[in-house]
Structure 1
Amino acid sequence: MSFSLASLLHPTQIFALRGGVHPETRKFLSADCAIETMPMPPLIRVPLQQHIGVEAEPIVQRDDHVLKGQLVGKARGQVSANIHAPTSGRVIAVGHFTAPHPSGLPVPTITLRPDGKDEWGERLPRLRPENASPEEIAQQVAAAGIVGMGGATFPAAVKLGLRDKYPLHTLIINAAECEPYLTCDDRLLRERADEVADGAAIMAKALGVEHILFAIEGNKPEALAALQRHTHVMDRILQIKVVPAQYPMGSEKHLVKAVTGQETPARALTAELGIVVHNAATAHAVHLAVRYGEPLISRVVTVSGRAVRRPANLRVLIGTPVADILAHCGGLDGTPDRLLLGGPMMGQPIRNLRVPVVKGTNGILALTRSETRQKDPMPCIRCGSCVQVCPMGLTPFEMNQKIQAGDLEGAAAVGLLDCISCGCCSYNCPSTIPLVQTFGFAKGKLAEKESRKHQQQQTKRLAEARKAREAAIAAAKRAAMAKRKAEMAAKKAREPAAKAEAEATDTARTSTPATNEAVK
């Protein structure tokens, strides 16, 4: 694909996006709250599945004493991530515990009782990124267990390895933070812009790209000013692009379209355009891992919503229970109408306050009834409001109609699998139909159906392989039997000749003495 860097290098050019909404941001609740460190909780629960891909394998047992930063879960397979102890203490359980997920199902979890010493174990070896190779940087990021911290949780090292598959030229740091309420990335940039910029330059070297773009919404002037003081890092120039405050500007493909004008084909990677996108918090984690050998064991989380007594931006240890975090913020003011991990548009509702914060958790929201605008859904009036705001250009009402009729394949045919679950359609629906939840359910059903189909095909393939193997064994047995029969027949055929030869020999032997006597 031909590509011009003119759109990248232009300091102000921004391209319009299709659809999207402009919800009330309500970031003022926590935007002025400096990042504070959360005190050590009495218990830490570290799930072994905090990332897209295969869950980590536990390498500790009950009653083991672990140190801060010690590897406790080892990545399995190419798409997986290491898990480290957030602090020092004793492992009191290696089993299952409720996941930070709407299902509430238990997942493999390591439960740790901190000893209060917060004693570091052996850290990862520090690298000097100016002299390190791209492979060494990627290996360090993998060893540190870093994943996409904007919510996607894709192992960061896998993305850094895309340099071997695609001709990359640009790294985009996603600092848009378009979800309402969330301000953790905003505060991180205000207070640690130099470290975030350094992490971006390190990732750029690992990817082998020269161009680094910071995409940030215009409603974050303090973060923008802080970034502008750190635009020259590791012999690279960081270009800042201010994008409109529009949801879902933080979506990877839409951000690429906004700052470059390039549209990523459906179900393709932005890397096919030569562009890789990473979150600002991920860049900061890379800085800590490469410069100081620190694995990903903590992150900044926004705690907000009208039902929270004291909104805050907290640096919390991975595995800290939500209940402890809310208690640190003064607790809840009454019973919230909705409790979410993440933002109000794409966050996951939870029912159990004991669930832990994981690597992809960027917010804890406790929303009142007035904030959620919850109403009973009404029939679709086919007004087309959902179509107008869909950033993917889909027809949500049509997909919903087919799903309600049980036609999942029909819904897929009109774009269900291209839906990014941003929630714009649900937000804009005058009938308050839970469209995005319906689409999520349908995608799960399709995935389940596809999984069953795959299992059936796998079973059929195994059965055919077994049948072929048994046929080969039977054929080998028949061949062996035929060979044995042939050998026996040949042996039997040789018996008369051998018998005659033996008799002749015996006759010769018996006649020899008489002949000798006659000669005498």
Structure 2
Amino acid sequence: MSPSFDSIIENLNDGKLYSFPGGVHPDDRKSLSNNTSIQTPSLPEHLIIPMRQHIGSDGACCVEVGDRVYKGQILSQSATPFAVPVHAPTSGEIIAIAPHVVAHPSGLTEMCITLKPDGNDTWCDLEPLPNYLDENKNEIIKHICQAGISGMGGAGFPTHIKTSTSKPIEFLVLNGIECEPYITSDDRLMREHAWQIRQGLDILAHLINPQAIIIAIEDNKPEALQALNIACQDKESYRVVSVETKYPAGGEKQLIQVLTGREVPRDGLPIDIGIVMFNVGTCYAVADAILQGKPLIERIVTVTGEAVQKPGNFRALIGTPVAHLLEQAEYNPKKQKVPKVVMGGPMMGFTLSDATIPIVKTTNCLLVPSKKELVDEGAERPCIRCSACADACPASLLPQQMFWHAKAKEYDKAEDYDLFDCIECGACAYVCPSEIPLVHYYRQAKADIRLQRDERNKAEKAKQRFEARNERLEREKREREEKHRKAKEARLAASKAKPSGAEEAASPVNETKDKVAAALARAKAKKAALQANSSTGDVSSKPISESNSQAADEDNKTQTAANDKKAQVAAAIARAKAKKEAQASLAKKPDAPLAETHNADSTSADAKKAKVAAAIARAKAKKAAQETKDNAPSHAPSNEPQHVESTQSTSDNAKDSAKESGNESRNESGVTPKEPNASEASGGATSAAEAKKARIAAAVAKAKAKKASAQGSTSASNAANINASNSNSATSDAHTDDAMTSDTSNDTSVSTGNITPDDKKARIAAAVAKAKAKKAAADKEKESK
């Protein structure tokens, strides 16, 4: 059970402390460097500033090559909580931003900014907070973060993270132990700058507000202990405690156990048990940042070992190459077999691979040992299983078992022995009689395990992304299939929901057009009948040839429309039907021999084609008749009796032609036309003769039109072929009648056998022209009356 706060305070007041298991007492060798004051080295030729010098992520570089910067100017910045910026240690020019070897056991490279000092050491504008007690705590914490302060005891944990805790804190511990041999940087700092450390402690106490403050110093540093007692004498709540010299008493978990008797959980932090710890170097940097506005651009570094002539502590700028500090301490390579520099102490430090490696915020010592000062790394011998390492382990682990599994790369078994609880203090290696570098194997095993974990995490994340992608694709596929299924069902439902008459409404597009055409035909027929009655007073007086001519004009327009659109074809057919109905209405009169047509509602496609062909034939007939009329005067007969006989003969031919026309009408409409009787034909001698002449002319013209259609049209349908056949028959009758007319003529000198087809055509045309002329004269007489 952990001790209570009151019991801990009581023990501290009585000078009673706790202890931790294991530990060793190596020769500290601190006298090499702690007898001289802190020195300021000269400016190096170049400063190499790594962009990440702490636990957490690095920031983004905010300068470019060629930029001139001032001392204290920010070089990198980041918005992530665990990132702190780095600053220019002095004024100068940025000459490179590239990877460089950094302080790491494996000699890794990281992005670094190379600065060439100009020697002026010009500061940028500083923003101190001298009245920090009046400032908001968040503003002070932000100021600490922007100053780039992180733990300077070795871990490099960002200080602003520790100070921004919201948990209740019982103890604030200031770590001034510095237990590792050779290192004296904190010792000299406490001796020379105890008051500034006290100021930094005041700022941290203001931010955290702990119940008690403990300053722990090893008993082998009497001068530092005395200096801090003097600096804190006006603060009764500040307890300066002397701790027994024992390695590794300076470890965070070990020092907490010594002072409070509490143990930090394996996977926890000191704050989980109400304790926060800071290094004395961190307190010094906090005071600089808040009271003077200076960022963390330098630190105290111990340069010691028997291979240097002037060991001591140096106030080194961050980014100073190791070689430059060795030069300041007068490094003597003759005292070493091979050049060797250890960053850190002999227990926890690591050998550097390059003398150009820069000083960083966590660098506290450079150890340059002579030939026999430290154990040779190549002196490893087999383990004798003495268990001395287990006795010395301050974390109560089994270093021997961890060593075997780490060396065999059996990392799972090494983890079973709590490999990651090892604090890498080196106590096990220090007491090992076989001189096995145990910490080296542990570090290598931890690095490999972390790498494997990273790979597993990446693979797991990749697997999750892959599975998420497959799931998304499958979901989208199901959604598409469901969408298509619903659309199909909707179409089926819509088709089933249609009424029984819907199919009739969808399919008979032609029927609808026919009905519309029939309605138009009836309307036009009525209109034509009314116009005929109103203009002549008697429908029978209108010449049939003129009616046929008008029909040919309308049918010619219908053919043009048929080539454009089907709708126009239907309209043309409707007009043709209207004309036929008009002709049928005229045929019912005494002088109208045309057959009545009742095919307005026919829907046969073949009938439509035939009607179109008939319309074309009528148009051509009109054109042929017009040409014949133009040529008629040169062949017209001058004898009236011949005309009378020809007319009589042609009358018989007209009757035959009327029959043929009736046959044509029956072929087109399917209805047999009515034959005019004799009583209906007796309407006066003059009018009967004129009507006969008109009918003869119409029959002849139609015969010629049908013959021309049969010869010139190759695209007509079967109905057109039937019309052409009827035309040929009518033409034959016309020729026979014409021959008869020629025999009865007294003025003709040419016999029937010698008459040419052109002469026949001319005579017929002349007869038609004379009939029209008489008709026109009769019309004028009627109009004059």
Please state which band the TM-score falls in when normalised by the shorter chain: over 0.9
* 1:174–1:279 Cα contact (<8 Å) kept: yes
- What is the CA-CA distance between 1:421 and the residue it aligns to? 0.5
Deviation at 1:290, TM superposition (A): 1.1
1:297 aligns to 2:297 (yes or no): yes
Is 1:196 the counterpart of 2:197? The answer is yes
Counterpart amino acid of residue 435 in structure 2: T
Whether the 8 Å CA contact 1:128–1:290 is kept in 2: the answer is: no
Moved more, 317-326 or 481-490: 481-490
Corresponding residue of 2:16: 13
Alpha-carbon distance in 2 for matches of 1:407, 1:14: 40
1:481 maps to 2:484: yes
- Given that 1:8 and 1:259 are in contact with CA atoms closer than 8 Å, whether structure 2 keeps it comes out as no
| C-alpha contact 2:409 2:445 (8 A) present in aligned 1 | no
2:78 match? 75
Could you state the TM-score of these two structures normalised by the residue count of structure 2? Answer: 0.62
* C-alpha distance in 1 between matches for 2:359 and 2:279: 18
Aligned partners of 1:117, 1:498: CA distance in 2, in Å? 98
Q: Aligned equivalents of 2:216 and 2:485: distance in 1?
A: 76
- 2:3 & 2:310 partners in 1: Cα distance? 52
Structure 1 vs Structure 2: percent identity of aligned residues?
A: 36
- Counterpart of 1:184? 185
> 1:475 offset after TM fit, Å?
2.1
Report the counterpart of residue 396 of structure 2 in structure 1. Answer: 393
- CA shift digits 1:269-324 (9 cap, x unpaired): 11111001110000100111111111111111111010011111111110000111
Report the Cα offset of residue 133 of structure 1: 3.2
Moved more, 133-142 or 107-116: 133-142
Shift of 1:48: 0.9
Give per-residue Cα distances to partners, 1:75-115, cap 9 Å, x unaligned: 35222221111111111011111112232222100001111
Question: When the two structures are aligned, how many residues end up with a matched partner?
Answer: 513
CA contact (8 A) 1:29 1:311 kept: yes
CA deviation vs aligned residue, 1:117-146 (integer Å, no higher than 9, x gap): 111113244252222333222211111111
Deviates more, 1:6-15 or 1:31-40: 6-15
User: Of 370, 384, 389, which residue of structure 2 is paired with 1:368?
Assistant: 370
Match of 1:28 among 4, 28, 31: 31
Equivalent positions of 1:119-138 (< 5 A) are 119-138=122-141
Shift of 1:264: 1.4
Counterpart of 2:273 in structure 1 is 273
CA distance, structure 2, for counterparts of residue 348 and residue 75 of structure 1 = 30
Change (3 A) 1:341 1:124: farther
Q: Which residue of 1 aligns with 2:356?
A: 354
- Of 55, 60, 63, 2:63 maps to 60
SS at match of 2:134: coil
1:54–1:76 Cα contact (<8 Å) kept = no
Q: Which residue of 2 aligns with 1:342?
A: 344
Deviation of 1:393 (Å): 0.6
- Following superposition, the deviation at residue 56 of structure 1 comes to 2.0
Report the alpha carbon displacement of residue 2 of structure 1 after superposing the two structures with TM. 7.2
**2:313 maps to 1:313:** yes
Amino acid at match of 1:44: L
**Match of residue 222 from structure 1:** 223
Do the aligned partners of 2:41 and 2:328 also contact (CA within 8 Å) in 1? yes
Structure-1 residue corresponding to 2:287: 287
RCO greater where, 1 or 2, for CA within 8 Å and sep 6 or more? 1
- What's the CA shift for 1:427? 0.4
Partner SS for 2:466: helix
What secondary structure sits across from 2:366 in the alignment? strand
Shift of 1:487: 4.0
CA distance in 1, matches of 2:336, 2:486: 82
Q: 2:130, 2:211 → 1: CA distance?
A: 20
Match of 1:382 in 2: 385
Q: 1:76 to 1:442 in 2, by over 3 A?
A: farther
Q: Report the Cα offset of residue 226 of structure 1.
A: 0.7
| Aligned equivalent of 2:155 | 152
Q: Which position in structure 2 is the counterpart of 1:329?
A: 329
What SS is found at the alignment partner of 2:64? coil
RMSD of aligned Cα (Å): 2.5
Q: Which amino acid aligns with 2:368?
A: A
Instruction: Give the CA deviation at 1:348.
Output: 2.1
Contact 1:134-1:207 at 8 Å conserved across structures: no
Are 2:438 and 1:465 equivalent residues in the alignment?
A: no
* Structure 2 residue identity aligned to 1:84: H
Deviates more, 1:446-455 or 1:128-137: 128-137
Long gaps (5+) in structure 2? 527-785
Q: Distance in 2 between matches of 1:380 and 1:366?
A: 28
Structure 1 regions of 5+ residues with no counterpart?
A: none
Contact 1:134–1:208 (CA<8 Å) still a contact in 2? no
Secondary structure of 2:227's partner?
Answer: helix
Which stretch of structure 1 is more off in the superposition, 335-344 or 179-188? 335-344
**Counterpart in the other structure of 2:668:** none
Report the Cα distance in structure 2 between the residues aligned to 1:192 and 1:339, rounded to whole angstroms.
Answer: 28
Residues 3 and 262, structure 2, Cα contact 8 Å, conserved in 1: no
Counterpart of 1:364 in 2: which secondary structure? strand
In 2, distance between residues paired with 1:236 and 1:140?
Answer: 28
| Contact 2:50 2:110 (C-alpha < 8 Å) held by counterparts | yes
| Structure with greater proportional helix content | 2
Q: 8 Å contact 1:59–1:72 — kept in the other structure?
A: yes
